[in-house]
Structure 1
Amino acid sequence: MKKSQLILVAVGILAVVGLYALPKVVVDNDSTGAKMEESEGQTSTETPSVTEMHENELSSEKRTQADQLKYNYLNAPEKEEKVAAAQVLAGIYQEEGLFDSAAYYWSGAADLLPENMFLAEEAGKANYEAFSFALDKSKVELLAEKTRLYLNKVLDKDQSRLDLKTKVAMTYVSSSNPMQGITMLREVLEQDPQNEDGLFNMGVLSMQSGQYKRAVERFEELVKYHPDNLQGQFYLGVSYFEAKEKNKAKAQFELVKKMTEDPMILGSIQGYLDQL
């Protein structure tokens, strides 16, 4: 996962896909029933152009290059030329961390050549990345829908792409039918019990619903098979902490301190250690 997706704060955690805003769902127990507590989000009534919104955030050099590429994207006579311009534009916005603008151009490229599965996959992943950082409810819903649109095209042709299935699953978790996403994540782990994204997301969702002992089990499995997963190692420490397993939490946080020099992560760890 990208470094930018590791969002840690000293007073708690805001996990992937707006964890704090997700509906609280019992995700990991033996019961066939599921408890769900919907959380209300703010809905924006305005929908400004994504690229206009980010226009002034590009450096002057990048903005000049982007303007020329946008002209080519809009005016090139051949679809292939438009697609080429869109891909470079998307790359510029991704480099600048402007993920919804990147998603906009990947989507445009994929729509121009709808049979091209490479473009569909890249559009789906770009929309998922933007979805992961979106806070506005209407934007979250739109980006989730686009993620499913493009990634399901790829999955229709290749059901073995569990990496894409986990992304689709997480878009459902934040929807009005979160159990559809939970079910998909369970299916991923049935097919591949060591699946990194599946274990991580189930652990995160167990934390979000307050099931810290279950979260511990998920993250222990994750780091057993994927010891370099820094997020998983950190969240295992947090899960130990919340499950009142203080000795394990302390040992885990000390381990994570040796894995990174990132001051934000180290500051968060110290915040927990001060409470132990």
Structure 2
Amino acid sequence: MKKSQLILIVLGICTVAGLYALPKVVVDNEAGTTTVEDSQAQQSTDVAGMHENELSSENRSEADGFKATLASTQNPSELSAAAKSLAAIYQKEGMFDSAAYTLEKALMVNASNLGLVEEAGKAFYEAYSFALDKAKVEALAEKTRTYLNQVLEKDPSRLDLKTKVAMTYVSSANPMQGITMMREILAEDPQNEDGLFNMGVLSMQSGQYKRAAERFEELVKYHPANLQGQFYLAVSYFESNEKNKAKAQFEEVKKLTQDPMILESVQTYLDRL
């Protein structure tokens, strides 16, 4: 399991796509209008200034070598390879914004490489998912849309990328745009794993726990190996005061993992039932 997935599970309700910053909108009922505010402030955010983290000693020497390559070459293939390798080191150490910025730098001389564009977009989305500062969330969301939309223009069938773009809108001044996109995804593919998961998470965030449980029930029906979905289904039952269902579901989660951090989190909920 990826470190990021483990963190998301242990945090409980606090999950992907900047939930701390999300407005509390109604997700699964008829939507009203929302106020669109001026978003120009995010354009002045210096994304490059967000990348001053220090690497651990065991990775620093290798990273310095890739940085040297990035600084000395204009060869697109060499630059892309070095950027991907350096980004992988940053991601390994949880420096997701640094990884995204590194890939973006490679695009400056390799902008036509659609694979690299996609990697940069995904990296910015991962950074966005863990960002808490409002200005940083907005800047990283904009970067995510910039790159992933380039891929979607070439291949609109990429629902995996469309769900990421949709989630970035949920924390914007017009959250219903993202929710509408997510509904469109599920209308096209009712079993879409990311779509069901994210709609469940958004329902939780807005306090619609019964509706969240329905979404997660669908998710685990079609994707039983989705551990996050299994866990959030149990949490949704818990918050809906469905104690018997919550207990049974938390016990089910215990069968799916041996990770002590997850088991400790599950036991905390079980002790409260």
In the superposition, the TM-score normalised over structure 1's length comes to: 0.89
User: Share of identical aligned residues, percent?
Assistant: 70
Residues 5 and 16, structure 1, Cα contact 8 Å, conserved in 2: no
Counterpart amino acid of residue 32 in structure 2 = G
Q: Give the corresponding residue for 2:112.
A: 115
- Structure 2 CA distance for partners of 1:207 and 1:108, relative to 1, 3 Å: same
Residues 234 and 253, structure 1, Cα contact 8 Å, conserved in 2: yes
**Cα deviation 1:212-265 (Å, max 9, x = unaligned):** 111011000000000010000010011111111111111101100111112222
**Cα deviation 1:189-225 (Å, max 9, x = unaligned):** 0110000000000000000001111101100000000
**Separation in structure 2 between the aligned mates of residue 197 and residue 48 of structure 1, nearest angstrom:** 29
**TM-fit CA distance, 1:110:** 2.6
Q: Give the corresponding residue for 1:215.
A: 212
Q: Give the corresponding residue for 1:198.
A: 195
In the alignment, structure 1 residue 231 sits paired with structure 2 residue 228: yes
Partner of 1:13, secondary structure, is coil
Gaps of 5+ in 2: none
Q: Which of residues 247, 252, 256 is equivalent to 1:250? A: 247
- Structure 2 CA distance for partners of 1:93 and 1:45, relative to 1, 3 Å: closer
**TM-fit CA distance, 1:47:** 6.7
**Separation in structure 1 between the aligned mates of residue 21 and residue 210 of structure 2, nearest angstrom:** 21
**Cα deviation 1:76-132 (Å, max 9, x = unaligned):** 142332222212111211122211111011112233212211001100000001110
- Structure 2 CA distance for partners of 1:97 and 1:145, relative to 1, 3 Å: same
**Separation in structure 2 between the aligned mates of residue 218 and residue 45 of structure 1, nearest angstrom:** 36
**Separation in structure 2 between the aligned mates of residue 81 and residue 233 of structure 1, nearest angstrom:** 42
Indicate the larger mover: 213-222 or 255-264: 255-264
Partner of 1:49, secondary structure, is helix
In the alignment, structure 1 residue 104 sits paired with structure 2 residue 113: no
Runs (4 or more) in structure 1 with deviation over 3 Å come to 43-51
In the alignment, structure 1 residue 138 sits paired with structure 2 residue 138: no
Residues 27 and 202, structure 2, Cα contact 8 Å, conserved in 1: yes
**Separation in structure 2 between the aligned mates of residue 76 and residue 244 of structure 1, nearest angstrom:** 60
Number of equivalent positions:
266
Q: Give the corresponding residue for 1:60.
A: 57
**Separation in structure 2 between the aligned mates of residue 170 and residue 46 of structure 1, nearest angstrom:** 22
- 1:77-88 equivalences under 5 Å are 77-88=74-85
- Structure 2 CA distance for partners of 1:3 and 1:230, relative to 1, 3 Å: farther
- Structure 2 CA distance for partners of 1:34 and 1:229, relative to 1, 3 Å: farther
Q: Give the corresponding residue for 1:152.
A: 149
In the alignment, structure 1 residue 94 sits paired with structure 2 residue 91: yes
User: How well do the aligned residues superpose, as a CA RMSD in angstroms?
Assistant: 2.3
**Separation in structure 2 between the aligned mates of residue 114 and residue 266 of structure 1, nearest angstrom:** 45
- Structure 2 CA distance for partners of 1:48 and 1:123, relative to 1, 3 Å: closer
Residues 25 and 35, structure 1, Cα contact 8 Å, conserved in 2: no
- 1:36-51 equivalences under 5 Å are 49-51=49-51
Gaps of 5+ in 1: none
Counterpart amino acid of residue 274 in structure 1 = D
Q: Give the corresponding residue for 1:33.
A: 32
**Cα deviation 1:166-188 (Å, max 9, x = unaligned):** 00001101111111100010010
**TM-fit CA distance, 1:34:** 5.7
**TM-fit CA distance, 1:50:** 3.8
**Separation in structure 1 between the aligned mates of residue 70 and residue 217 of structure 2, nearest angstrom:** 47
- 1:265-276 equivalences under 5 Å are 265-276=262-273
**TM-fit CA distance, 1:139:** 1.1
**Separation in structure 2 between the aligned mates of residue 207 and residue 168 of structure 1, nearest angstrom:** 20
